[in-house]
Amino acid sequence: MTTRKHLLQPVAATIFVSALALTAGTASAESYKAHLTPLNVGKIGTSAEGDATFKIVGDNLEVHIKMKGVPANIEHWEHFHGFPDGRNATCATPAQDKNKDGYVDLGETEPVMGTTMVPFNDKPEEMNIPTNTYPHADASGSYEYTKIVPLKALQEKFGETYKGGSIDLDKRVVMVHGVPKDHGLPTSVGSLGPIPSHVTLPIACGKIEKVAD
């Protein structure tokens, strides 16, 4: 299997905090949303789509992700991706299939989507990417994820990892990953280090946008 180095290491540059940066103790609630549409359409046997919402309520970040049409009966990694230098991330398209193997793999998304930043698993605030605590789709290919995340802890870990950076949700994208182990991906499909490509293959993406007050 071809593997590509994925940008999960801290960066030296300090990211300036935007006016929309998330901080603990926000006086009024802020809401964000993303509509996820399929990636690798026609290659995974399903057409994954869904919606994600994020709401800052007091000192917490409330996350809700609801997906359908994902490969059934397997775990699906999900994260927000972005650029540590503060650039806006956008969702990948088939144009990112640089090796022309018919799949847009994780490494090929990096020029437009950036690096894996915050996982939506059992403890997003710990920012542990490889875990077995991501959502598991049911037999119909659906799942729902809800988590209340301590915002201060998440921001502290994020700033530690990205040298003072801020979460800046409206500069990020949500990505959902994963196809069955026996799907038969070509060896040209890259992944994250030693993690198998069927685990990290992108299947849906959505740009996070701030909801108007």
- SS3 for 66-94 is EEECCCCCCECCEEEEECCCCCCCCCCCH
Give the range among 2-16, 46-60, 98-112, 131-145 with minimum mean pLDDT: 2-16
28: confidence class by pLDDT, cuts 50, 70, 90: low
Each residue's pLDDT tens digit, 183-192:
999 999 999 8
The structural domains of the chain, ordered by start, are: 30-210 (2.60.40.200)
Count helices and strands in the chain by DSSP H and E runs: 3, 9
- Please say whether the beta carbons of 77 and 57 come within 8 A: no
Higher pLDDT, 80 or 22: 80
Confidence of residue 139 (pLDDT cuts 50, 70, 90): very high
Average pLDDT on 131-143 reads 97
Residue 41 pLDDT > 80: yes
- Return the structure tokens found at 78: 């999900």
What pLDDT digit, counting tens, does each position of 151-188 carry? 999 999 999 999 988 999 999 999 999 999 999 999 99
pLDDT value at residue 76: 98
Find the mean pLDDT for residues 55-71: 97
Q: Do residues 6 and 151 touch, judged by C-beta distance below 8 A?
A: no
The pLDDT of 12-17, averaged and rounded, is 32
pLDDT of residue 15: 31
Question: Would you say residue 75 has pLDDT above 80?
Answer: yes
Q: 100: Cβ–Cβ under 8 A, 6 or more apart, which residues? A: none
pLDDT class of 149 with cuts at 50, 70, 90: very high
Tell me what the mean pLDDT of segment 76-98 comes to: 97
